[in-house]
Amino acid sequence: MATDYYAVLGVSRDASDDEIKQAYRKMARKYHPDIAGPEYQEKFQEINKAYEILSDPEKKRMVDQGIDPEDPQASAGFGGFSQGGYGSFADIFDDLGGMFGGFGGRSRGPQPRVQPGSDVLADLRIPLKVAVFGGVQEVQSRTYITCPTCHGNGSADGSQPVTCSVCKGTGFQQKVTRVLMTQMMTQVECSNCHGFGTVIPNPCTQCGGSGRVADEHVEKVNVPAGVQDGTRMRVAGRGNVGLGGGQPGDLYIDIHVAADKQFVRVGNDLHCWVSVPMVWAALGHEVTLSTFDGPQNVELKPGTQPEEEIRVKGLGAGILNSPGERGDVVAHVQVKVPKKLNSAQREALEAFDKASKSDKPEQFARPSKGRDRGLFDHLKNMFTGE
């Protein structure tokens, strides 16, 4: 069973990045083996791993989709993740804000209430035609927006935050901790103001003082012509608004191009298969191809062989970052051989057979250029007199 990384950190599945980070820092301080004791080594590693997963947008996305990023088979193709968490004894005490009594260290000031927002990742599924021509599409996403009630201030009455009475504005408290049989003074986040150094006396009832609220909305984005399946688009400033109404992050959109019933895209070309009667292939004929630009009449040359290509220039997919340029439509010919013949058809083919008695079956690994191409060349000669 996959690990529930949200449960490890004690947060809900819709927790913000800031809430996940805050929960991790509290648990990491509590369970670090150099503070809580060596018996908590495994617990600390579990907390570290949970934060590493949930602080990485790609890994978090996999978790939300029910995929365990630690499963090599399930996470194949999701390489290049950043590493998170605390790596050493020194790392965690540096985050604690330093310590007094032999380790050096430094003091840390309060956190600003206005903080930059995080990025958001969304998915967009489009038909092949949109990938060919581009166009405006709608993307549904869930982001944090500035609270419409307090406008990011966090206060119900518009008042400004006041200095925390517990930490006196420093954002942290001093705590006596027993480490390796020694009592040491450490700095921990203030339990009253949560590290801000100030408190909001009358918090906004809609956002709880955070200055932002969750919002489900539809974003209209311009998909460029020629976009490929798996492309990631960036829309600047449309991600999560930060705490206190801070500058928003960006919205990233993963493009998924749906399979099409008529075409398969290869590069910028659109490939299709067209089935024609064998007489058309032998004698030549006009064929109508259905394209995204409408019906196109093309010539089937006399003696066309199975799997020959008919190429229509400039009607394929748009070429990304090259306005006005497009690939081609490539039609692969399939020749239909009738399974049942009426009397007239049988007589005609028997006459053809008599005229072809000198033909001998040939067996070879691969047709070579210039070799007799068989049935369709004979049919062409018979009916055209060539």
**CA 43 – CA 52 distance, rounded (Å):** 14
**Do 237 and 275 sit in the same domain of this protein?**
no
Quick one: 162 and 202 in the same domain?
yes
Instruction: Please count the structural domains in the chain.
Output: 3
CATH number at residue 160: 2.60.260.20
**Does 305 score more than 70 pLDDT?**
yes
pTM value? Answer: 0.60
Question: Residue 204, annotated ligand binder?
Answer: yes
Q: Annotated binding residue at 150? A: yes
pLDDT digits (tens, 9 = 90+) for 143-153: 999 999 999 99
Q: Which residues contact 181 (CB under 8 A, 6 or more apart)?
A: none
Same domain, 55 and 154: no
Task: Tell me the two tokens of residue 278.
Answer: 């064998």
Buried b / exposed e across 122-157, counting CB within 10 Å, b at 16+?
bebebebebbbbbeebebebebbbbbeebebbbbbe
Q: According to the annotation, is 167 in a ligand binding site?
A: yes
- 207 in a labelled binding site: yes
317-338 pLDDT, tens per residue?
A: 999 888 889 999 999 999 998 8
Q: Rounded to an integer, what distance in angstroms lies between the CA atom of residue 157 and that of residue 170?
A: 25
Rounded average pLDDT over 59-66: 81
Choose the weakest-confidence range: 2-16, 51-65, 322-336, 369-383.
369-383
Question: 167: which DSSP letter?
Answer: T
The residue among 379 and 224 whose pLDDT is bigger is 224
Give the sheet arrangement for strand 172-179, strand by strand: 99-100, 182-189, 172-179
Whether 130 and 224 share a structural domain: yes
Average pLDDT in the 354-372 region? Answer: 65
Q: Are residues 86 and 129 in the same domain?
A: no
Question: pLDDT tens-digit profile of 247-294?
Answer: 999 999 999 999 999 999 999 999 999 999 988 998 999 999 999 999
* Both structure tokens of 124: 């967009």
100 beta partners: 185
Note down the domain range covering 71: 1-95
Of 95, 129, 147, at which residue does a domain stop?
95
Q: Is 190 annotated as a binding residue?
A: yes
